[in-house]
Amino acid sequence: MTTSTLLSGTSTLLYKEVLRFWKVSFQTVAAPVLTAILYLLIFGHVLEDHVKVFGSVGYTSFLIPGLVMMSVLQNAFANSSSSLIQSKITGNLVFLLVAPLSHWAWFLAYVGASVVRGLVVGAGVMAATVWFAPLHLANPLWIVVFGIAGAAMMGALGLIAGLWAEKFDQIAAFQNFIIMPMTFLSGVFYSVGSLPPFWKAVSHLNPFFYMIDGFRHGFFGVSDASPWTSLAVVGGSLAVVCALCLHLLRIGYKIRH
């Protein structure tokens, strides 16, 4: 397969995947933004005067980047996993299988669309919540790096879940028992530094913590872990997940039978 054929196939499938979620943007974009606003209103109102983080940083300000990144991660995962399982169940996956698409084209298109959806939702959450508390951009580069890396990792993980699952219930179980707990236990609503030593150590085993902590560092210039440590963990996790995803696509795991 030539490079031009690969790029053409990838761009076509990427366009199809972006169009798929954008046509129902009220559900795929607006609904997550509304959910994040409700989290902010409830937690920010209740805990603003009771929780202190990073010295002079107010709790609501602290909460906003966590909600933005949580929305990015969850929606990037949902995009690739729901698209693939829907294609498998409805039977239209066969049209992709007969097309001259390599496993690289599948990977780049599905993960690319997941990154687009994650970042669009994250931008929407930011635009809707930034009015509630002051935010500062201490280092925008960290925001961009962790936002894209986190969305790409979750897009690849969603693709793995979509390849493995054979029905929607399995995708829901994967999201409810793995993705959701790891996201909520990653420091979205609290500073991991305030936890007892045992739970602080457990939190540092969660790669989602490093995604959110590194992303938050870009706003405040301070974080629970060094941004370079976070970058190393997220980069290593991204490489492992992407390698596994590409391998499963190459052998046609649960899609070529």
pLDDT tens readout for residues 40-50: 988 877 776 66
**Which pair of tokens denotes residue 118?**
């994650």
pLDDT digits (tens, 9 = 90+) for 187-245: 888 888 778 888 888 888 999 999 999 999 999 988 889 999 999 999 999 999 999 99
On the 0-12 / 13-18 / 19+ scale of CB atoms within 10 A, 257 is exposed
- How far, CA to CA in Å, does 147 sit from each of 5, 175, 225? 30, 20, 17
pLDDT on residue 98: 83
Amino acid at 82: S
Distances (CA, A) of 228 to 144, 193, 201, 218, 232: 14, 17, 18, 12, 6
Whether the model clears a pTM of 0.85, i.e. scores above it, the answer is yes
pLDDT of residue 130: 87
Counting as low any pLDDT under 50, the low residues of the chain are none
- Number of continuous H segments (helices) and E segments (strands) in the chain: 12, 0
